Chain A
Amino acid sequence: MSMLEIKNISKSFRDGSEENHVLSGLSLSVESGEIVAVLGPSGSGKSTFLSIAGLLLSADSGEVFIGGKEVSKLPKSKWTRYRKEHIGFIFQSHQLLPYLNSADQLTLFQDKKNVSKVDAMELLKELDVDSCKKKYPAKMSGGEKQRVAIARAFVNDPEIILADEPTASLDAKRGRVVVQMIRDEVKKRGKVAVVVTHDERILDLMDKVYRLENGRLTEISNS
């Protein structure tokens, strides 16, 4: 059974008098330990798709299963809690809080019950930002910040990691390192990662690559 299973999602936005059909019957299934990329031009609906998978937005129709549970049925009041426990987000720009040092970026978002499961300081070490523990975002490079943000995504031991253009604010070399790290963590911890990206140079690090076109995903061969 797939860890993340998205079935037949449709979503449209009202744009004045017109309906803007962004997603129409999109389906995707990702197994544990897999990292997949979703490509597509700007405005094709990648963020919309990620928001629906991440319980930030409801679809007009279709279902989302995480770990076999139909989360698209959960009432909105349970979403926040569910996101905290089961979904790790990596945003386009790091989105670290300016007033926390790297250690606090992780520990202040970690649920108490996960403290024994995931060692936040170990995560920082694995992402090679050990030296930034006491540093605030303003004193760190773009790559360091994004790596702390990745560590934060893993801190509550989520089943799935959703990354929206995680390399957009980095140069090619650093971007690649960062994606490599996401990949390593996913493999090591048996998670699922969906990475929305423009960046064709990182596709060789992906298990599968999809293109978002006409509101659906099609797998493209990964050479």
Chain B
Amino acid sequence: MKHAWKELLHGKRKYILIEILLILLMFMVLFLSGLAEGLGRAVIAGIDTMDAKYFLLDDEAEELITVSSLDEEILETVKAQTSSDVVPLDIQRMYLIKDGDTEKLNITYFAVEPGSFIEPAVAEGKRLCEVANEADADGRYPVVLDDDFMLEGISLGDTVYDSSTLLPFYVAGFAKDQMYGHVSIGFISTETYTKLREELSPMYTKKYHALAIQDEDIEKISVEGTELVAKADIISNIPSYTAEHLTITMIVWVLIIVSAVIIGIFHYILTLQKRKQFGVMKALGMSTGELTVTVICQVAILSVFAGAVALGLTFGMAAGLPEKMPFYLRFDNALVVTGVFIVISILSSILSIVNISRIDPITAIGGGEE
């Protein structure tokens, strides 16, 4: 341990260079996993942040909420079958236009019962359940928008229109981190949604896309032609999510492994340079075990320090990123990535340890070729 530390201190210049490399590699990995997670969030956040454990869908929907269709009565039937809270959910991809503008903005409506457990908290303004759930004096209905719409110049109280029906909304509130399939969400009440559908086609009969079930009490739920789907399965079936997520996750892990191998090779080169020195230490009575501890200590010191700095850099950088950048990294996830990185770099020094164990202390004596 003392050897490890004193050698690092004495070789400051050399080890600082290695440290910079380590920090950059770790930063790159952390930053990319933040971007990967951020991209993923843009697809799933709306569902993922919902406090629901299961969703009831029609059994031909292939676990996809947007193509599911349930008759209105099923809500009451299911409510009677479970003690868990059951509420309807509709998801509809449409366009929004700002007042006095012609540009169409992508929006995914999430229609919920105001006050139900799947209604999100707001960062600004009021929730749907906090405002009158009907048209205001100007005939506008309340909508709670994802806060990305703020970047489009929309503010609280503004009037916006559904592009195909020209149904007017007023912005009651903004919620954070509400995206579905790369599109920002606008929450409206189920009633408003029905109104919207009726405007689209007068023949509309009220149906739900899905029912969200809050808790685990699902044993007795059984309705002909429907199936219960766990939240995780709903998420992995959102179009393109699994494929995208898998690709990006793979890239991150490949990067972690490649970086760890690079670090392993660096330590291996250092070990090769120090073979003579290790031979002398062995001749003087230090065991391979003691030398192994020294090497592992050095790798651990270098990588833990690099990990700490890289974490600081990543979160510092994240704070300064533009809002639009899909960067999302939870501290505990970042710690896991850093931890894995540290463990893999320590494992990669096994190569060096094998090399050290093969050094014959007899090399210290004799020729002394230097």
Q: Chain A residues in contact with chain B, CB under 8 A?
A: 47, 50-51, 54, 56-57, 80-81, 83-85, 89, 91-93, 95, 97-100, 104, 108-109, 136, 152, 156, 164-165, 168
Contact = CB atoms under 8 A, between A and B. Distances in A.
A92 B366 CA distance: 7
Nearest to B279: A95
Closest 8 CB pairs of A and B: A84-B285, A99-B10, A92-B368, A47-B366, A99-B7, A56-B362, A95-B280, A83-B285
Given A93-B370, A99-B10, A83 B284 contact: yes
Contacts of B287: 80-81
- Looking at chain A's contact residues, the main secondary structure is loop
B270 interface: no
B365 A84 contact: no
Contacts of A97: 3, 7, 277, 280-281
B365 A56 contact: yes
Contacts of B7: 97, 99
A54 B365 contact: yes
Interface in B111-149: none
B6 interface: yes
A95 B285 contact: no
Contact of B365 (A80, A89, A99, A156): A89
A56 B282 CA distance: 10
Interface in B63-115: none
A56 B284 CA distance: 10
Contacts of B286: 80, 84, 109
Q: In terms of DSSP, what is the predominant structure of the interface of chain B?
A: helix
Contacts of A92: 365-368
A84 B284 contact: yes
A99 B11 contact: yes
Given A136-B10, A168-B368, A51 B284 contact: no
Given A51-B362, A56-B365, A109 B284 contact: yes
A99 B6 contact: yes
Contact of B285 (A51, A100, A109, A168): A109
B261 to A, nearest CB: 27
Contacts of A136: 10
A108 B5 CA distance: 12
Nearest to B276: A95
18 contacts: A47-B367, A56-B360, A80-B287, A81-B285, A83-B285, A84-B286, A85-B285, A89-B365, A91-B283, A92-B368, A95-B364, A98-B277, A99-B3, A99-B10, A108-B2, A136-B10, A152-B284, A156-B285
